[in-house]
């Protein structure tokens, strides 16, 4: 397992400096949480990054599901699907692995 | 039951966190599948001016956030025609997602709303 010691993190363990992000960082974060990232996880993580870059906005859980439904298909925006991927909270952990700030609704 | 909600803003959105609060309420209404119209009147039209640089004031640029409205089923932002004219603004100076509507039609929109929220 790689070390995350070189990263600048906030008090919640989220990255403060996204330029330090890499796929390797995401994988290591997930491993520490006991999660192996599959292509299905990556789809959601990359979606979060492109949404954030395009709109300068972080959705809350409800909006997050709606946005995914609209862009990736109805089945992928369902709570059941998202919680199956990220059992401890899809919004929080998709943002964390994406190197984005903690969503305001997760504090 | 779905209701028709109209959000009116008549103040400039920059310089404080009002804009963020405003957008949060609009997005939540839309996320709960309500029919939502967003109308900018008076000084509110300044919110849609393109090429703003709020980062220089250490404020978040909220113009891109308006782009999320279509994701949640809202067809852009309506700007009052007279408000633009009174401020010497033209449509080409506004962000692309704006629709322009004369004051009389804005009134009609407000009359048919179940609820009006003013910011």
Tens of pLDDT, residues A22-61 = 999 999 999 999 999 999 999 999 999 999 999 988 988 8
CB contact under 8 A, B62 and A56: yes
| B72 shares contact with chain A (CB less than 8 Å) | yes
Q: Are B73 and B28 in contact (CB under 8 A)?
A: no
Q: Can you give the CATH number for the domain in which B107 is found? A: 3.40.1260.10
Give the whole-angstrom CA distance, residue A89 versus residue B78: 36
With CB atoms and an 8 Å threshold, state whether A57 touches B64. yes
Report the residue of B34, B71, B72 to disrupt the A interface, i.e. the one with the largest count of A CBs within 10 Å. Answer: B71
Please state, as a whole number, how many other Cβ atoms lie within 10 Å of the Cβ of residue B32. 14
Rounded to whole angstroms, the Cα distance separating B86 from A61 reads 41
Res B119: pLDDT: 80
ipTM of the complex: 0.76
Which tens digit of pLDDT belongs to each residue from B95-119?
877 889 999 999 999 999 999 998 8
Interface membership of B65 toward A (CB under 8 Å): yes
CATH class of A18-106: mainly alpha
Task: Give me the domain span that covers residue B88.
Answer: 4-118
Residue A106 is among the residues annotated as catalytic for this protein: yes
Q: Does B71 touch chain A (CB under 8 A)?
A: yes
Domain boundaries, chain A: 18-106
* Cα(A9)–Cα(A104) distance, integer angstroms: 16
Structural domain count of chain B: 1
């Amino acid at each position: 397992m790689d070390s995350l010691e070189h990263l600048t993190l906030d008090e919640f363990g989220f990255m403060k400096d996204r330029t330090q992000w890499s796929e390797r960082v995401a994988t290591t974060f997930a491993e520490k949480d006991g999660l192996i990232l599959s292509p299905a996880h990556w789809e959601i993580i990359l979606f979060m990054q492109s949404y954030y870059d395009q709109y300068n906005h972080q959705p809350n859980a409800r909006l997050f599901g709606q946005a995914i439904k609209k862009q990736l298909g109805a089945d992928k925006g369902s709570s059941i699907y998202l919680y199956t991927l990220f059992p401890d909270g899809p919004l929080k952990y998709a943002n964390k692995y994406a190197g984005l700030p903690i969503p305001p609704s997760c504090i | 039951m779905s209701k028709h909600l109209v959000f009116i803003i008549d103040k400039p959105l920059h310089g404080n966190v009002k804009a963020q609060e405003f957008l949060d309420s609009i997005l939540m209404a839309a996320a709960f599948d309500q029919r939502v119209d967003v109308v900018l009147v008076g000084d509110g039209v300044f919110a849609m001016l393109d090429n703003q640089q709020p980062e220089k004031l250490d404020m978040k640029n909220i113009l891109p956030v308006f782009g999320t409205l279509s994701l949640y089923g809202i067809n852009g932002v309506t700007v009052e025609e007279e408000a633009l004219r009174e401020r010497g603004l033209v449509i080409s100076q506004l962000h692309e997602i704006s629709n322009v509507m004369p004051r009389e039609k804005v009134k009609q929109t407000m009359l048919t709303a179940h609820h009006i929220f003013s910011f």
